[in-house]
Amino acid sequence: MTAPTDDASIHPAAGNGLRDWLVYAAMLAVAIGIFFAIDFCGVRLTAPEGTGAGLNTGGAGVSSSEALMHVLVALGAVLIAGRLLGIGFRYVGQPPVIGEVVAGILLGPSLLGRVWPDAAAFLLPTTVAPHLGMIAQLGVVLYMFLVGLELNPELLRERARSTIAISHASIVAPFLMGTGLALYLYPRLSTSDVPFTSFALFMGVALSITAFPVLARILTDRQMQKSPLGVIALGCAATDDVTAWCLLAFVVGVAQAKVGGAFVVIGCTLAYIAFMFLIARPIATRYFLRFGEHDISANVVALVLALLLGSALITEAIGIHAVFGAFLLGAIIPHDSALARALTTRLEDLVTVLLLPAFFAFTGLRTQIGLVSGLDQWLWCGLIIVVATAGKFGGTLAAARLTGLGWRDATSLGLLMNTRGLMELIVLNIGLDLRVISPTLFAMMVLMALVTTMTTSPLLPRVAAAGERRLGHQPL
């Protein structure tokens, strides 16, 4: 009897449904038990005394005209540098967004601030950070709305059991490894101002992120988005996004509220999610599917944007980040409707070309690679990268194999799910805003996001080529 090939094994083997759900429930129960064991040990750790001082982003003493000038200069510089570096990174097989992120970092204190301080002070002075930050927040809110619009529920329904199992295993594994890593990093890179539970939860979520838009772009560039592996990867990434943002909402609720208040925030968050998907989504589906390509007027766009701002405002008022509300509103609008296509066409270039550079500039201003000093800290940074990769890649690979995928496809899926990109930067900025992580750890995590994203594109074709040589398959 001949062994099954990877292409044949891309379709997960049918199994006992009850057994699969029991295994899934046991995995979650064990994961929860392990986290509480880690938390039990971690709350007894002692971190250095905190200073109570956060990142200096004050804008006192800056006139509005001067601030506007600096904002315009910063946006122009990051936009041009990002475009040029994006072209260069695309030439070597990397997503252009990597070039845009690197441009923001290079123009900040990490490089330009060291080699040419006067130029850095003119392009990205710390006094202009609040103004740049507001534009960055608006850009990220609109971007997360567009990410929500791209979610395809059909990807979650097709092969739902295997997709959910792989996706949640790719979250549970890095989450537990991140919380375990917190036991080591908390006494070294945190302060007593930050409760260990908040620190550990955030580290777990930060290591669990997958960049759905970057993953989708990689699949599209390689014409894999409609292949069986591409469908599973998109479905897993979409499920990852929803789950990770729910986890982040939980973490933000815990970090921002006292113990009793955290449960109120969590309860309100779950109630709002239920309202959006059980009540608002059916209404939105019936209403927005009525519109054709020529019915999308400025009034309709204004209505959707007003709903977007309202949803973002509600989640901000609840105690979680505004981006979560924007993401939810995008997710309830039918992705294949004329309205979704029109909104994507009208907003995508404005957001990705103009507003996101403000976010990259803001992130670059906050990223100080120089804070990572000495052999010990660089080893800690390397440890973060290894743990993040082992958790995401290893969890995905193991779950994919258990659901019936062949080694080549499971390895490819693990590489794709290890992509973090812009989504990771959004989460890290939220953590820095909440002061759950320090500027030093922020810089280390930004490097982790860049390394894990940059390794996907060069390794993916090598795995495909190896599978082709070994099994005689066509390239992915």
Contact 421, 95 (CB under 8 A): yes
Alpha-carbon separation of residue 41 from 36, 179, 203, 311 (angstroms): 9, 11, 16, 38
pLDDT of residue 8: 46
Residue 85: helix, strand or coil by DSSP? helix
pLDDT band at 58 (very low <50, low <70, confident <90, very high): very low
pLDDT of residue 63: 63
Percentage of the chain surpassing pLDDT 90?
Answer: 26
* Residue range 45-72: mean pLDDT, rounded: 64
Q: Which residues contact 364 (CB under 8 A, 6 or more apart)?
A: 78, 103, 104, 105, 106, 107, 108, 110, 124
Q: For residue range 251-261, list pLDDT tens digits in order.
A: 887 777 654 56
Length of the chain: 476
pLDDT of residue 378: 95
Task: Please say if the pLDDT value at position 10 is more than 80.
Answer: no
Mean of pLDDT over the chain: 82
The end-to-end CA distance of the chain, in Å, is: 26
Q: For residue range 148-191, list pLDDT tens digits in order.
A: 887 776 655 655 667 778 888 889 999 999 999 999 999 999 98
pLDDT of residue 56: 37
pLDDT band at 62 (very low <50, low <70, confident <90, very high): low
Distance CA 312, CA 326 (A): 5
* Residue range 139-144: mean pLDDT, rounded: 89
Contact 167, 95 (CB under 8 A): no
Triad 386, 387, 392: Cα angle to 5°: 105
Q: For residue range 268-313, list pLDDT tens digits in order.
A: 888 998 999 899 999 998 888 887 777 788 888 999 999 999 999 9
Q: For residue range 363-379, list pLDDT tens digits in order.
A: 888 888 989 988 999 99
Q: For residue range 98-130, list pLDDT tens digits in order.
A: 888 888 899 888 888 888 888 888 887 877 788
Q: Which domains does the chain have, with CATH numbers?
A: 63-471 (1.20.1530.20)
Q: For residue range 305-317, list pLDDT tens digits in order.
A: 999 999 999 988 8
Within 208-355, where are the H helices?
A: 212-221, 228-256, 259-275, 281-288, 298-318, 322-332, 338-349
Task: Please say if the pLDDT value at position 437 is more than 90.
Answer: yes
Q: What is the DSSP string of 384-427?
A: HHHHHHHHHHHHHHHHHHHTT--HHHHHHHHHHHT--HHHHHHH
Higher per-residue confidence, 404 vs 397: 397
pLDDT of residue 164: 77
Contact 311, 333 (CB under 8 A): no
pLDDT of residue 225: 64
Distance CA 307, CA 301 (A): 10
- Measured in whole angstroms, how far is the alpha carbon of residue 92 from the centre of its chain? 23
* Residue range 408-426: mean pLDDT, rounded: 89
Distance CA 361, CA 363 (A): 5
Contact 238, 160 (CB under 8 A): no
Of 143-152, 315-324, 435-444, 456-465, which one has max mean pLDDT? 435-444
Distance CA 218, CA 89 (A): 13
Give the up-direction half-sphere exposure of residue 340: CA atoms within 13 A in the CB hemisphere: 22
Task: Please say if the pLDDT value at position 397 is more than 70.
Answer: yes
pLDDT of residue 3: 46
